[in-house]
């Protein structure tokens, strides 16, 4: 942690040296006056991290000169960039993941990225290359405020509960188009099957907030049967995605969003028809989850499949 990060970590958000405009009450803010293609100072990076801890997702408009190389360079300022564990990187990049509507893909169910591994990404940096004229927005939800506002009996239930996360799940809501390309993407996504145990409530390593960890990679809760698990998943997801816990971003080409993957869920809205929607994402390595009792999340199995 740099000197600036130590100084800014507990600084009131209004005292940060940034032009911050909140977008919603509990999550999301736009930062103006910064060109992400520039070589940011340590002070700028530390202030952005502090804003991220507070707002969970932050947005930058008009980053039109922000190339793949600059995207990767920015990611390196926030930690160790990591590629997706099963999906190949975008052409010409070292670890960027491309999300392109031509491939029949829209992550239109609520999730936290890559929770099927133990040290899932801490931070994601997403940039818009092609944005639909209408539609294709992204929603984020604050999983810390969702936990804070759970009824006490529900908190008591989930505080000690653990879940099984896997990338082997129902893809029907993710790959909407039943094309050969969509089938290949599905096959690619499950080329290695992971199963990981995470606490349903984990402690954020920087803010120490308690966060709910659910989303579409959860198969079931340990100790509960499938039917009871699905009922409880539905209840928790309804609390997480209540409108007051969310923010909605209308994409323009050149926008960049940075979010704390440890404190949020997100989903795309697949309402843009045949319009082109292309984004590229960098992810920053995280650490194993930590439960309230200090126990760490753990990957239980990794099964390499041969699809040839």
Instruction: Record the pTM.
Output: 0.90
Those residues with Cβ within 8 angstroms of residue 111's Cβ, 6 or more apart along the chain or in another chain: 215, 216, 217, 265, 266, 267
Compute the mean pLDDT over every residue in the chain, rounded to the nearest whole number: 89
pLDDT tens string 177-197: 555 656 676 777 677 888 999
Mean pLDDT for 23-35 is: 97
Do residues 174 and 228 lie in contact, with contact meaning Cβ atoms separated by under 8 Å? no
120-140 CB burial, b ≥16 within 10 A, e <16: bbbbbbbbbbebbeebbbbbb
Instruction: Report helix, strand or coil for 264.
Output: strand
Of the ranges 83-92, 108-117, 205-214, the best mean pLDDT one: 205-214
Structure confidence at residue 2 (pLDDT): 60
Burial class (CB in 10 A: 0-12, 13-18, 19+), 41: exposed
Q: Which of 2-11, 180-189, 255-264 has the lowest mean pLDDT?
A: 2-11
The domains found in the chain, sorted by start residue, are 3-304 (3.60.130.10)
Q: Which residue has the tokens 């929603």?
A: 139
Q: How confident is the model at residue 17 (pLDDT cuts 50, 70, 90)?
A: confident
Report how far residue 39's alpha carbon sits from residue 227's, in angstroms, rounded to the nearest whole number. 52
Catalytically active residues are 111, 113, 266, 281
Q: How is residue 171 written in tokens?
A: 């893809």
């Amino acid at each position: 942690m740099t000197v600036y990060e130590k100084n800014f970590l507990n600084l009131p958000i209004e005292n940060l040296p940034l032009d911050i405009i909140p977008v919603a009450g509990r999550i999301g803010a736009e930062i103006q006056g910064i060109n992400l293609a520039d070589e940011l100072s340590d002070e700028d990076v530390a202030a952005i991290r502090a804003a991220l801890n507070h707002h969970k997702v932050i947005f930058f408009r008009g980053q039109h000169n922000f190339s793949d190389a600059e995207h990767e360079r920015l990611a390196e300022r926030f930690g160790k960039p990591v590629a997706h564990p099963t999906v190949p990187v975008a052409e010409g990049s070292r670890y960027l993941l491309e999300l392109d509507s031509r491939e029949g893909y829209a992550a239109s169910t609520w999730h936290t990225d890559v929770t099927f591994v133990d040290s899932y990404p801490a931070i994601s940096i997403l940039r818009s290359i092609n944005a639909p004229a209408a539609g294709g927005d992204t929603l984020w939800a604050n999983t810390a405020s969702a936990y804070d506002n759970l009824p006490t009996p529900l908190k008591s239930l989930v505080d000690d509960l653990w879940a099984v996360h896997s990338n082997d799940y129902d893809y029907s809501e993710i790959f909407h188009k039943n094309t050969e390309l969509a089938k290949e993407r599905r096959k690619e996504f499950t080329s290695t099957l992971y199963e990981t145990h995470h606490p349903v409530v984990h402690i954020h390593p920087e803010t120490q907030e308690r966060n709910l960890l659910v989303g579409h990679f959860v198969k079931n809760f340990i100790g509960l049967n499938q039917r009871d698990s699905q009922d409880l998943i539905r209840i928790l997801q309804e609390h997480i995605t209540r409108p007051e816990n969310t923010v909605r971003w209308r994409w323009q080409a050149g926008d960049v969003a940075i979010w704390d993957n440890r404190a949020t869920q997100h989903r795309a809205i697949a309402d843009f028809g045949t319009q082109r929607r292309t984004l590229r994402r960098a992810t920053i390595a995280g650490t194993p989850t930590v439960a309230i009792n200090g126990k760490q999340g753990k990957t239980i199995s990794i099964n390499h499949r041969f699809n040839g």
